Structure 1
Amino acid sequence: MDVKKLSTDDGDARSLFSMQELDPSPVDDLSPNLESGGYFPETSPGPGFAVSKLGLRGNRWDTWLSALQRYSTYPPTAFSVLHFVNTSLIPLATRSVPASESYLLLTRPVYQAPGLEHLMLTIPILTHIASGIALRNIRASRRARLYGAETRAQRHLLSFWPRVSVQARTGYFLAPLIGLHVLVNRATPLMVEGGSSGIGLGYVAHGFARSPVFWNLFYLFFVTAGVWHFVGGWATWMGWKVTTARRERGSNEGSLEGYLGHSDNPERAKRRRKMWWMVNGIAALGASLWLAGALGIVGRAGDGAGWEAKGWNEMYSQVPVIGDWL
């Protein structure tokens, strides 16, 4: 079908929606990605001519942004592993918040060393989010050109993030939760007391005692989304794309695998199912362990006492926007 023959009225623009499902991004690595030029060779067939001039080849922005998106996850992952140990595994082992406080020294140097926190967390997380959004917009724009969208309505249908994977959704859901976590545990103590040297598991437990419903729900969503995003992301880096966008079960619409000689087969389907169960099983186990320590031990430790509890009450009440709820 010649896309240029499509009418420019709204009805025909809506009919282009079906072409949105022709996103040539199959789960398998064997199938090339046409939108980023994967079907065309790297080498130039002759002097003065580059495959990228066809408009189907990804340029260097794709390479740089993909590298930024990937390698920016390394420092936060290292920190998250340590944070998982001292906020979940150690409380589970000691069964006591006071006995677990000293182990926060595993990650406390990241908070205390000048600039190290921003180098390990702030800059990498912002880089990861920004590079992901930039990549999505670049590839969406390329998709609109590839399918020959001419009118504004057609470009909108093909370029406005038509297929957001589970991996991306968990990331976008996680971003504001990280922001709130930082606001309560880092920014507010910095504004009120000039630092967070007095912030630990007792402070978090005191917050649970003040607003149990809010904090139980918050950490349930925060931990679950965070663990699934990290595990799914690392699985994707390793080639196990079980959280990426994929076609509906039982439907060949939206797949070019058959035309390119990579039709699905039972063996590959079985391998996919095995990967899916393995990755999601690891994520479920990690989230369960983290929640067991965070909600089961820290969340039930109760109020603080004395002058320390008074200071924590002051900090929670001065959290911007939501302080009255906490």
Structure 2
Amino acid sequence: MTSLSKPMDSDAKSIISMQELDPSPVDDSISDLENLESGEYTPKPVDESPTRTCGLSSTLGLRPHRWDALLSGLQRYSTYPPTAFFILHFANTSLIPLLTQSIPASEPYLLLTRPIYQAPGLEHLVLTLPVLAHIGSGIALRNIRATRRARLYGAETRGQRDLLHWWPRTSIQAKTGFLITPLIGLHALINRATPLMVEGGSSGVGLGYVAHGIARSPVFWNVFYLVFVAASVWHFVGGWATWFGWRVTTVRRERGSKGSLEGYLGYSESQDRVKRQRKIWWVVNGVAAVGAALWIAGALGIVGRAGEGAGWEAKGWNEVYSRVPVIGQWL
């Protein structure tokens, strides 16, 4: 009996000693794989058991990767209503003037579709709120990914973050979005807000109003619409191509980049994939170029060359343009 108890005592001691071992430190604060060049990430499956959270994530029951999914979905689906407006506006201000070659003949079509996207309440539901949601979700996504990347490398101070280049590099798609944001605001200020302040509404704003403004300040408006139309069409076409999996307006990857995992592994893209990407690039950019050319041809080639209005209508337009905040004296 004595000989048998000793092995059991030793086994018990070994089990107790193993249980008393301190666990090795494991940092599980970052559970996602980070794309170091674009700031995007690929979330790993997360256990649904309760975990320690804090702040807003704890309040709403959302983990960081769920915030990304929520904001990404908001950024995508908020583009649907403005796209419908975009198509209608493209037809009214470009295609129809190109077909009729006349502003008086084109105005009835603009008036016919105006109640669709300028009805009280519907305009903000179709255009204003989705645009604000799209811009806000995009900025929030960039901030979340930048913060995650800085935390991944332990960058705590501003100087450390600057050395890390913690803010994700901006793609061409994002740059065009940042560019057209103030242009949309100026366009709405001149065509919607100022007529509302001066005349109580924008019922007098149409193709003739735009033609009158271009005739008053041709240099300003030609440059404005060239940049506005080109950037907007590029952003819309590139965005929808991205939703369909044809992402072509990304940040260019530097050749021979030492930070690329592909370079260390000796990975090289297949010729078929390179050809496919090249084909997609030409298709998407070709569609954007054709769309921008058509829009500019109708907006500046037909509407922009119609000249100033006449009579009481032109007098009212002059009053509206002169009352535009800040820049009214130059319009």
TM-score above 0.5: yes
1:163-198 deviation line (CA, Å, top 9, x unaligned): 000000000000000000000000000000000111
C-alpha displacement at 1:154, in angstroms?
A: 1.6
Map of 1:102-251 to 2, 5 A cutoff? 102-158=108-164, 161-248=167-254, 250-251=255-256
Instruction: Choose from 292, 300, 307 the match for 1:302.
Output: 307
Instruction: Choose from 63, 70, 80 the match for 1:64.
Output: 70
CA distance 1:218–1:242, shift in 2 (3 Å): same
Distance in structure 1 (CA, Å) of the matches to 2:313 and 2:125: 31
The one-letter code sitting in structure 2 at the alignment partner of 1:287 is A
Percent pairwise identity:
73
The structure with more radius of gyration? 2
**8 Å Cα contact 2:93-2:299 kept in structure 1:** yes
CA distance 1:290–1:235, shift in 2 (3 Å): same
Distance in structure 2 (CA, Å) of the matches to 1:137 and 1:243: 20
**8 Å Cα contact 2:213-2:321 kept in structure 1:** yes
CA distance 1:136–1:112, shift in 2 (3 Å): closer
1:281 aligns with 2:286: yes
Instruction: Choose from 288, 292, 310 the match for 2:297.
Output: 292
TM-score, normalization: structure 2? 0.81
Distance in structure 1 (CA, Å) of the matches to 2:236 and 2:264: 34
Distance in structure 1 (CA, Å) of the matches to 2:277 and 2:259: 18
C-alpha displacement at 1:322, in angstroms?
A: 0.3
C-alpha displacement at 1:150, in angstroms?
A: 4.3
1:43-91 deviation line (CA, Å, top 9, x unaligned): 53x96679xxxxxx95211011001100000000110001000100000
Instruction: Choose from 50, 64, 80 the match for 2:86.
Output: 80
Gaps of at least 5 residues in structure 2 are 1-34, 53-62
Distance in structure 2 (CA, Å) of the matches to 1:291 and 1:322: 24
Aligned length: 288
Gaps of at least 5 residues in structure 1 are 1-21, 26-32, 51-56
1:321 aligns with 2:296: no
C-alpha displacement at 1:146, in angstroms?
A: 1.9
| Residue equivalent to 2:101 | 95
| Residue equivalent to 1:11 | none
Distance in structure 2 (CA, Å) of the matches to 1:134 and 1:47: 27
CA distance 1:47–1:206, shift in 2 (3 Å): closer
Distance in structure 2 (CA, Å) of the matches to 1:223 and 1:202: 19
Calculate the aligned-residue CA RMSD, in Å.
Answer: 2.3
Distance in structure 1 (CA, Å) of the matches to 2:314 and 2:194: 16
| Residue equivalent to 1:19 | none
CA distance 1:313–1:239, shift in 2 (3 Å): same
Distance in structure 2 (CA, Å) of the matches to 1:106 and 1:172: 32
C-alpha displacement at 1:113, in angstroms?
A: 1.5
TM-score, normalization: structure 1? 0.82
1:25-52 deviation line (CA, Å, top 9, x unaligned): 4xxxxxxx8x5344x3x253x96679xx
SS at match of 1:59: helix
Distance in structure 2 (CA, Å) of the matches to 1:106 and 1:245: 42
CA distance 1:308–1:232, shift in 2 (3 Å): same
C-alpha displacement at 1:264, in angstroms?
A: 1.9
SS at match of 1:321: coil
CA distance 1:262–1:58, shift in 2 (3 Å): farther
**8 Å Cα contact 1:79-1:107 kept in structure 2:** no
1:265-316 deviation line (CA, Å, top 9, x unaligned): 2221111111111110000000000000000000000010100000000000
SS at match of 2:36: coil
Say which structure, 1 or 2, has more relative contact order (CA 8 Å, 6+ apart): 1
| Residue equivalent to 2:273 | 268
